[in-house]
Structure 1
Amino acid sequence: MPCPGVTTGRVEIPGEDYGQIQQAVDSGRNLWRLSPVRTAQVVGTQHLGLRERDSYTFVEQYYDPGSGLQHAVVRVRHQSCSYLVELYQPERQGPKGIWVVTEIIEV
């Protein structure tokens, strides 16, 4: 039984400009974007129906040779439901690159 109010599938946040977000992080703002877990938490809470107090667990980070991009997976326990939040680094790879949520899958 799905949890109502949680967005699943492909994620598109209107007006999200990856270049501007990366610039903000480079100048010391929104540093939570450097953590896949914190990005899943903040973006999930603001846009996708998740809650700050849900349980967020880092699952894995991997390199996709096809796109040349780093990806990460975060598991979220929300009420009686579990989700996998998929993220990737669109602008810069590695510890200084921002993370962006691309998909939420119910498991």
Structure 2
Amino acid sequence: MPCPEVVTGRVEIPGEDYDRIQRAADAGQNLWRLSPVRTAQVVGTSHLGLRPQDVYTFVEQYRDAGDGLMHAVVRVRHRDCVYLVELYQPQRQGARGIWVVQEVTEL
């Protein structure tokens, strides 16, 4: 495994309160939460072993028929490794909804 510092699999961030995060974004704080790419970058560098200088590329956004929530995929090139960061909107769907990292998969 060439990039053991990167956390893969299902992501659970201790103390992440989606209600509080959504309220903060509604109040104009932490607006990076409204962008799946910026959320992958900030959460990835804070909690998942990624780096700010890694290359973050938006792949797709879709509404999941099963849970009805908006999901997004961001590809991250970290050194010689490539990851897919899957995110979703737990509180509100669309432009004003926060994004949360759900899973990281190595390609």
Q: TM-score range by the shorter chain?
A: over 0.9
Corresponding residue pairs, total: 107
Residue number in structure 1 paired with 2:72: 72
Q: CA deviation at 1:92?
A: 0.1
Deviation track 1:64-93 (CA, whole Å, cap 9, x = no partner) reads 011010000000000000000000000000
| CA RMSD, 1 decimal | 0.5
Residue number in structure 1 paired with 2:57: 57
CA distance in 2, matches of 1:5, 1:20: 29
Percent identity for Structure 1 against Structure 2: 76
CA distance in 2, matches of 1:92, 1:16: 16
Residue number in structure 2 paired with 1:4: 4
Structure 2 length normalisation: TM-score?
Answer: 0.99
Residue number in structure 1 paired with 2:42: 42
CA distance in 2, matches of 1:104, 1:22: 22
Q: Structure 2 regions of 5+ residues with no counterpart?
A: none
Deviation track 1:14-48 (CA, whole Å, cap 9, x = no partner) reads 00000000000000000000000000000000000
Q: Structure 1 regions of 5+ residues with no counterpart?
A: none
